[in-house]
Structure 1
Amino acid sequence: DLVAFDLYSRAKSLMLTTSFSAIGGQNLRKAVDLLEQALARDSSFFLAQCQLAYAHDNLYFLGLDHTPARLAAAQAAVEAAFRLQPDAGEAHLARAEHLYRGYLDYDGALAELEIARKSLPNDPRVFELTGYIARRRGQQEEALRNLQRAIELDPRNFFTLQQIALSYVNLRRYSEEAAVLDRALSIKPDDVETKVVRALLPLDWKADTRPLHQALDEIRRSDPEAIKSVADTWFLCALAERDGAAAESALVALDDNVFGNDAIQFRRDFGEGLIARMTKDGAKARAAFTAARAEQQKRVDGQPDYGPAICVLAVMDAALGRKEEALREGQRAIDLLPMEKDSINGAHMIEFFAISAAWVGEKDLACDKLAAALRLPGTLSYGQLKLLPYWDPLRGYPRFEKIVADLAPKE
């Protein structure tokens, strides 16, 4: 069925946008819709069933829809794939993705990958997922080895290059990140999201916002519609430059999408609170944070053991001066998602606990957690600490200033 295949192909393209795009969640939901249309036309379309499982799993895994219903939909798609072709390597690959993304079951996923490898011996996807599992386990060099092997097998795979760049971000190896992003841009020179991530690099590395500001201005001038896919980074740039008007415009472009780090996700109400806090409008900040907190409480009620949602609630309680609740929730988030379970989001639990502690006046606790976060691989950078308003309560505090100075690039 050519129509079904076209729907499947469009869905696959949308799913390759999740690395850097602010509208990745929107694209994943569109992909689910397209794949369901394809399967409605041809219920025996095995590869569409595998991709449907992957789309559902990613919505769950990335925290965009971390609900039992989404996890059950992914499980149903995996089971349907096995009914169609129980011995296919792709079916075992789909189950490996599901165990990894749905349950953080690394051993189970690796066992499925070993089965998949028998019929897919040189398939880059096997090495790619092996790399992602190693990365989540904190085995950064092992992760890079597997991702490099995947790119050797598929040298023009743009998505894999983006993921290798993310590994270098986590290791704070910015010159190597730059080289990989430049390679990616030689393949797709007009990719807006990757151009913006390349321009973001000097902000992280050297606290220099100018390349990012220029790149965003160029996108707004030449392709205004495309700014939506990088609106989260525009918002970050505006905060770093203390430009309240630009931050407001970025939030309008972001619309119902999220900003933050990995599974730590904030929405527009919280962003408005941040801007008001930055511009010293206390009443407006309190109203925005109160509205954001009410919505976040509903998310926590629906997933009471999900660390990232509780971590976000802690930051909102800190913003509202609810000290005891913020510190209790921040610690609970760390307990629920420790580094051993997920090294990437585990590091974010510690980082955002530091922000919560700073916001409620616990400066030494904040510095303890910040120092702990910086000992780990992660996206927290010199530029973020130097420029972003999250860290303003610590400015001038000697321990914090020493942490920032020690992180500064050595010219």
Structure 2
Amino acid sequence: RDPDNAYFCEGVQDEILTRLARVAELKVISRTSTQHFKSAPDNLPQIAKQLGVMNILEGSVQKANDQVRVNVQLINALTDAHLWADTYDRKLTDIFAVESEIAKTIAETLQARLSGSEKQMMAAAPTTDTEAYELYLKGRFFWNKRTGADLKHAIEYFTQAIAKDPSYALAYAGLADSYTLLSVFSAASPQDSIPQARAAARKALELDNTLAEAHASFGRILSGYDYDFERAIAEFERAIQLNPNYATSYHWISNGPLTARGEFDRAIAEGKRAVELDPLSMIDNADLGQIYFYAGRYDEAISQVGKAIEIDPHSYLAHFYLGQIYQLQGHLTEAIGEYQKAVDLDDDPQALAFLGQAQARAGQHDEAQKILARMTEEAKSRYVSAYSFALMSIALGDKEQAIDALERAHREGAANDIITIRVDPMLDDLRGQPRFEALAEKIVPAREFKAGTASK
């Protein structure tokens, strides 16, 4: 297969799904999950069951020079009845019109009622430049992998897409999402990435304020860096209203402001919805597991993070999440094993900190001190989060130094690490310390946190 043509085919699939996703009456599964079934499958009922759907759209795309042929068929996976099929032979420049037509026909075939704004959004083309669109898709592909190196690749592709089409709102949203996550995966400090994220999210909204992705990007910045939970929730809710099938909005509202405020029932419900819409997404499954962990529901956390590892056994993040759960259950040896796997899979210093603090708690002080020395050395040339140093200080018994580090995280704008200060069990040894409680009050005021738990 020609790899560039493969990206083009995925682009057509993605565009049809994106247009259908805006229809409130339809449940549409994200491409992250559907792309696991690329070749012509013969076990449709099984796939439908795995994805939690009744109908499946199959198709093929052939591109030669400036001509394109799209074959599509809509099948009821339970009865194997063919509901509709068609072939489109068009010029390459007409591809967005074809995608719009296909989406509209599917919606009508499934008897979904379309509002005026839904019809309008279905007909809109995100860009008229097919190359910019392929670059955008490559960006999202790397963004979904969730490692520092992959996020940097994503930024390159989104930047190239914007260079091809400077009015491409979706590409700005992708750029914002990538910069927003850089510090989360230790690939840059918040000071070196959040201003760019903020500028890109604002530009996306300026170009198209009906774009769900742009509202979700802005919500992520408001909760993960500005501690503005109310406005963040409003942005995520607007994103959900604009595109009820965009899994990331549910994912980020659940593991951001709702978890920070201790609203676990709603956080879990929203996290489950994200997984329903993108069942084979590693990050959606892992972060739902992390919410169960914060809620103290460890068995469910293990099962959920286990699903993430099944989807991507090489996800260092899922392994260190699993390590945290084992640690809180009192299984330090198993926890150290998982943390070690995470360190072997990726060079994120936060994974190293989790390993070091577990070794300190297991009485392996020499190993822990070696890790602390390595982190201190690495911090001279790359971003190592203050939260990582706080974890080490707690385990080595220096509470004052740990609180110093958390206060530094607050000053540096590393809110993503500390918005969960009221629910993060890794910080439990500091509770009751006046300086720690004062910091928690700055981050999640008690009135907001109590309001959150009272609504359970």
Q: Give yes or no for TM over 0.5.
A: yes
Taking structure 1 as reference, are residues 43 and 267 closer, same or farther at Cα in structure 2, changes over 3 Å only?
Answer: farther
Indicate the residue corresponding to 1:148 in structure 2: 202
Taking structure 1 as reference, are residues 211 and 378 closer, same or farther at Cα in structure 2, changes over 3 Å only?
Answer: same
User: Contact 1:203–1:383 (CA<8 Å) still a contact in 2?
Assistant: no
Taking structure 1 as reference, are residues 215 and 55 closer, same or farther at Cα in structure 2, changes over 3 Å only?
Answer: closer
Size of the aligned set, in residue pairs, is 337
The superposition leaves residues 228-247 of structure 1 with CA deviations (integer Å, 9 ceiling, x where unpaired) of: 76322322222222122111
Indicate the residue corresponding to 2:230 in structure 1: 175
Indicate the residue corresponding to 2:336 in structure 1: 289
Query: Residues of 1 paired with 2:336 and 2:227: CA distance?
Result: 32
Deviation at 1:15, TM superposition (A): 11
Indicate the residue corresponding to 1:63 in structure 2: 147
Taking structure 1 as reference, are residues 196 and 265 closer, same or farther at Cα in structure 2, changes over 3 Å only?
Answer: same
Taking structure 1 as reference, are residues 55 and 242 closer, same or farther at Cα in structure 2, changes over 3 Å only?
Answer: closer
Normalized per residue, the structure richer in helix is 1
Query: Residues of 2 paired with 1:357 and 1:46: CA distance?
Result: 50
Aligned residue type for 1:332 = E
Taking structure 1 as reference, are residues 273 and 189 closer, same or farther at Cα in structure 2, changes over 3 Å only?
Answer: same
Taking structure 1 as reference, are residues 394 and 375 closer, same or farther at Cα in structure 2, changes over 3 Å only?
Answer: same
Alignment of 1:112-261 (within 5 A): 116=163, 120=165, 122-124=167-169, 137-138=191-192, 140=194, 143-169=197-223, 170-215=225-270, 225=279, 230-256=284-310
Indicate the residue corresponding to 2:318 in structure 1: 267
Aligned residue type for 1:386 = R
1:54 aligns with 2:139: yes
Deviation at 1:312, TM superposition (A): 1.1
Unaligned runs of 5+ in 2: 22-28, 40-59, 67-129, 181-189, 361-366, 448-456
Query: Residues of 1 paired with 2:443 and 2:7: CA distance?
Result: 52
Identity, in percent, stands at: 14
Deviation at 1:253, TM superposition (A): 2.5
The superposition leaves residues 383-404 of structure 1 with CA deviations (integer Å, 9 ceiling, x where unpaired) of: 6222222112323444323322
| Aligned match for 1:7, one of 7, 10, 28 | 10
User: Contact 1:39–1:49 (CA<8 Å) still a contact in 2?
Assistant: no
The superposition leaves residues 106-128 of structure 1 with CA deviations (integer Å, 9 ceiling, x where unpaired) of: xxx7xx899x3xx7454436755
Taking structure 1 as reference, are residues 28 and 204 closer, same or farther at Cα in structure 2, changes over 3 Å only?
Answer: same
Indicate the residue corresponding to 1:395 in structure 2: 431
Aligned residue type for 1:267 = A
User: Contact 1:311–1:329 (CA<8 Å) still a contact in 2?
Assistant: no
User: Contact 2:254–2:267 (CA<8 Å) still a contact in 1?
Assistant: yes
1:364 aligns with 2:418: no
The superposition leaves residues 41-75 of structure 1 with CA deviations (integer Å, 9 ceiling, x where unpaired) of: 65998457635753565478x417x48xx99xx7x
The superposition leaves residues 188-218 of structure 1 with CA deviations (integer Å, 9 ceiling, x where unpaired) of: 2244442343344554443332321344577
User: Contact 2:140–2:174 (CA<8 Å) still a contact in 1?
Assistant: no
Deviation at 1:373, TM superposition (A): 0.5
Taking structure 1 as reference, are residues 187 and 5 closer, same or farther at Cα in structure 2, changes over 3 Å only?
Answer: same
Normalized per residue, the structure richer in strand is 2
User: Contact 2:175–2:197 (CA<8 Å) still a contact in 1?
Assistant: yes
Taking structure 1 as reference, are residues 368 and 188 closer, same or farther at Cα in structure 2, changes over 3 Å only?
Answer: same
Taking structure 1 as reference, are residues 375 and 252 closer, same or farther at Cα in structure 2, changes over 3 Å only?
Answer: same
Query: Residues of 1 paired with 2:429 and 2:31: CA distance?
Result: 32
Aligned residue type for 2:344 = K
Taking structure 1 as reference, are residues 146 and 197 closer, same or farther at Cα in structure 2, changes over 3 Å only?
Answer: closer
User: Contact 1:28–1:55 (CA<8 Å) still a contact in 2?
Assistant: no
Query: Residues of 2 paired with 1:176 and 1:380: CA distance?
Result: 16
Q: Given the two structures, how large is their TM-score scaled by the length of structure 2?
A: 0.58
Unaligned runs of 5+ in 1: 18-22, 75-93, 102-108, 301-305, 339-345
Larger Rg: 2
Indicate the residue corresponding to 2:368 in structure 1: 323
Query: Residues of 2 paired with 1:258 and 1:368: CA distance?
Result: 36
User: Contact 2:240–2:246 (CA<8 Å) still a contact in 1?
Assistant: yes
User: Contact 2:247–2:278 (CA<8 Å) still a contact in 1?
Assistant: no
The superposition leaves residues 136-157 of structure 1 with CA deviations (integer Å, 9 ceiling, x where unpaired) of: 6547567535423322322332
RMSD: 4.8
Query: Residues of 1 paired with 2:34 and 2:140: CA distance?
Result: 6
